[in-house]
A and B are shown apart, each in its own frame.
Chain A
Amino acid sequence: MASLKELTEREERLTGGHRLCAGCGASIIVRQILQATNYPVVVSCATGCLEVSTTIYPYTAWKNPFIHNAFENSAVTCSGAEAMFRAKKRTGEIPADKKVKFIAFGGDGGTYDIGIQSLSGAMERGHDMLYVCYNNEAYMNTGIQRSSATPLGAATTTSPAGTVIPGKKEYPKDLTEVMAGHHLPYVCQASPGYFQDLIKKVETAMEIEGPKFMNTLSPCPRGWRHANDAAIRISKLAVDCCFWPLYEVRNDTYALTGQSKLIADGKKEKVPLAEYLKPQGRFKHLLAPKNKELLDSIQEEVDRRWERLVKLSKL
């Protein structure tokens, strides 16, 4: 992996002046990903916080080519650009040895729900691109509505915690596993808190030809109701409590990475789920005595998914 010193010498491809909230996780993820590579990149982005606040017409916070099309088709827009790039290489309009990397960004709404068909299609057709989902676990841009990535028990505006329901009633879909089911050359899950791990994964992905998928947790101070300065701390806690394990799947071979590997090997201690929930207002009700049973059942489910992953990584 490139050292932090080397990374500081690379050009910033996202500028300040974007209108993401103070303390947003999305721009930290984008910076880390774009710094991880020296190749020229083409970025496409699904509708969402990242798109609307970095490209308020007619200004842009991106220094690389950027395409936005619609909510559901970030992946296919990127795959189309990639196909055109290959076609122009064939006709000789672009030199055959020129290397450009294609990266598509999407939020969890644009990836888990609305964009899953286009993502699945682009991955299945084998385009040479990296799809990055910055997962803030709800439709934050439109006012914190629940998505299929929202964890059980989280209060959102369409699943408010109260006397009728204790927040969202369903467990989130495991999209990383769905993508692993596409038998891609590279699928991984990362967290911006553990940036060495994230950067290493992007570096690995950039050297692999073919479709790659990366799912990153993106803390949202507004929607998760946490302090402005807590994004990185929370994204680390999510990994420490095994709610968001760091792992990669290379040609169907699972491997835990970074902090998660240390936890699985017993070198670092696993933190109780409550530690991750505490700083977040959306889970406040789960820590009340009357919801103890629910909290225990969520902890059990987190443990069950984690144990399963540990078993898979030993295959």
Chain B
Amino acid sequence: MSGKELRCYEDLPPSPVTHDSSLVFKTGSWRTMRPVISKEKCKLCGFCWKFCPDVSIFEDSEGYPAVDYDYCKGCGICANECPFDAITMLEEDAI
């Protein structure tokens, strides 16, 4: 079913089985506050990754955590739980 646009019920498959990943939905558009990670302060503890409800923290090429802004909803749990205050929440409009 991939790639086919859903316009009416006839476009749906006959059995109620899901085929596609929800990754097509970029929930990043919900965000009003943006987490920004400071590499100077980060001690690589991994708590931001552990507590992220949206699976939006990944390892960048240098091994530091980075935010996947396509899916991050900006809840701020990572900034709140970071023991080293390495994550700050900035307003989306200000960026």
When C-beta atoms are compared, the residue in chain B nearest to A5 turns out to be B46
Give chain B interface residues in 1-59, CB to chain A under 8 Å. Answer: 1, 6, 12-13, 16-27, 30-31, 45-46, 49-56, 59
Q: Are B46 and A228 in contact (CB under 8 A)?
A: no
Q: Are A28 and B76 in contact (CB under 8 A)?
A: no
Residues of B within 8 A of A4 (CB): 45-46, 50
Name the one of A5, A15, A20, A227 contacting B53, with C-beta atoms under 8 angstroms.
A20
When C-beta atoms are compared, the residue in chain A nearest to B51 turns out to be A232
B51-81: CB near A (< 8 Å → 1, else 0) gives 1111110010000000010110111110111
Q: Does residue A16 face the partner (Cβ distance < 8 Å to B)?
A: yes
Q: A8-B49, A16-B23, A17-B26 are in contact. List 14 more A-B contacts (CB 8 A).
A: A16-B56, A17-B71, A26-B53, A32-B50, A57-B16, A58-B1, A59-B18, A59-B24, A60-B20, A60-B22, A61-B22, A221-B75, A228-B77, A232-B77
Q: Are B56 and A230 in contact (CB under 8 A)?
A: no
For the complex, what is the distance from the CA of A19 to the CA of B24, rounded to whole Å? 12
Q: Are B75 and A229 in contact (CB under 8 A)?
A: yes
The A-B contact count (CB < 8 A) is: 117
When C-beta atoms are compared, the residue in chain B nearest to A230 turns out to be B80
Q: Are B18 and A58 in contact (CB under 8 A)?
A: yes
Contact A16 B50, CB 8 Å, known A22-B30, A22-B74: no
